[in-house]
C-alpha cells in the first residue's frame, strides 16, 4: 500500500466507525483463507462486515470516534467486524468462535461502552433486532385478535340460545 491507499483506507474505516453501532475485535492468528472467506460470508448474510486491518491504520481511523477505547485491543493479528444491528455481528462472531478455535474474540464496543469477550458473548445471547420486531408485532396483533374473539362470542352464544329455543318449540309442537 502506498500513502494514498493508506489514507483512503483510514478514511473509509473512520466513516464506518462514524456510522456503525457495534464493533467486535477478534484475533485471527492461524485462520486459513477458506475460514476467513466462510466467516465473511456469514457476516454478510447477517448484515455485518469483517475486515482485517493493520493495527496502526485502525488506530488512526479510531481517533476521535466513540470507539476510541478499542485501541488497547488492537495488538497482534487482529480483525474488526461491525454492524448496525449490534446483536447480529456478536452472534456471528460467537458462533464462528465456537466452531474454530483459531478465531478468538478479544472484545468490542457498543457505542461508547467497551465490552470484553464475555460481554460480546452475553450480547450474542440477546434476540436480534428482527426477532424483537417480530415479537413486538405479535404483541400488537394479539389484543386485536382477542377483541375480535370476545366480540364474536356473545353473538355465537345468542345463536346457540335461539337454536335451543327453536328445538324446544319443535319438541313441544311434536
What does each C-alpha distance from 120 to 92, 112, 158 come to in angstroms?
A: 11, 14, 58
Q: Which of 81, 97, 86 is nearest to 126 (CA)?
A: 86
The answer on 37 and 10 residing in a single domain is yes
The answer on 158 and 109 residing in a single domain is no
Q: Which of 34, 45, 46, 31 is nearest to 103 (CA)?
A: 31
The answer on 113 and 32 residing in a single domain is yes
Angle between helices 33-45 and 86-99 (to 10 degrees): 150
pTM above 0.75, yes or no: no
Q: Which letter does DSSP use for residue 23 in this model? A: E
Which structural domain range is residue 168 located in?
A: 127-174
Write the CATH number for 31.
3.30.70.1730
Grid cell digits, residue 16: 464506518
Grid cell digits, residue 20: 456503525
pLDDT of amino acid 134 = 82
Burial environment of residue 155 by CB neighbours within 10 A (0 to 12, 13 to 18, 19 or more): exposed
Digit-coded pLDDT (tens) for 15-63: 888 888 888 999 888 888 999 999 999 999 988 889 888 888 888 888 8
Average pLDDT, the chain: 83
CA distance 139 to 132: 11
Q: Residue 152 pLDDT more than 70?
A: no
pLDDT of amino acid 100 = 87
Amino acid at each position: 500500500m502506498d500513502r494514498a491507499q493508506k489514507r483512503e483506507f483510514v478514511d473509509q474505516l473512520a466513516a464506518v466507525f462514524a456510522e456503525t453501532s457495534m464493533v467486535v475485535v477478534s484475533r485471527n492468528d492461524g485462520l486459513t483463507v477458506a475460514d476467513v472467506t466462510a466467516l465473511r460470508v456469514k457476516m454478510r448474510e447477517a448484515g455485518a462486515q469483517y475486515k482485517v486491518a493493520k493495527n496502526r491504520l485502525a488506530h488512526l481511523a479510531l481517533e476521535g470516534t466513540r470507539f476510541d477505547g478499542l485501541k488497547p485491543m488492537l495488538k497482534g493479528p487482529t480483525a474488526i467486524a461491525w454492524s448496525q444491528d449490534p446483536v447480529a455481528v456478536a452472534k456471528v462472531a460467537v458462533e464462528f468462535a465456537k466452531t474454530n478455535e483459531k478465531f478468538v474474540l478479544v472484545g468490542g464496543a457498543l457505542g461508547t461502552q467497551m465490552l470484553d469477550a464475555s460481554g460480546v458473548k452475553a450480547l450474542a445471547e440477546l434476540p436480534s433486532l428482527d426477532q424483537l420486531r417480530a415479537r413486538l408485532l405479535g404483541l400488537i396483533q394479539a389484543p386485536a385478535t382477542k377483541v375480535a374473539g370476545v366480540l364474536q362470542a356473545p353473538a355465537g352464544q345468542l345463536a346457540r340460545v335461539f337454536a335451543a329455543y327453536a328445538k324446544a318449540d319443535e319438541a313441544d309442537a311434536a
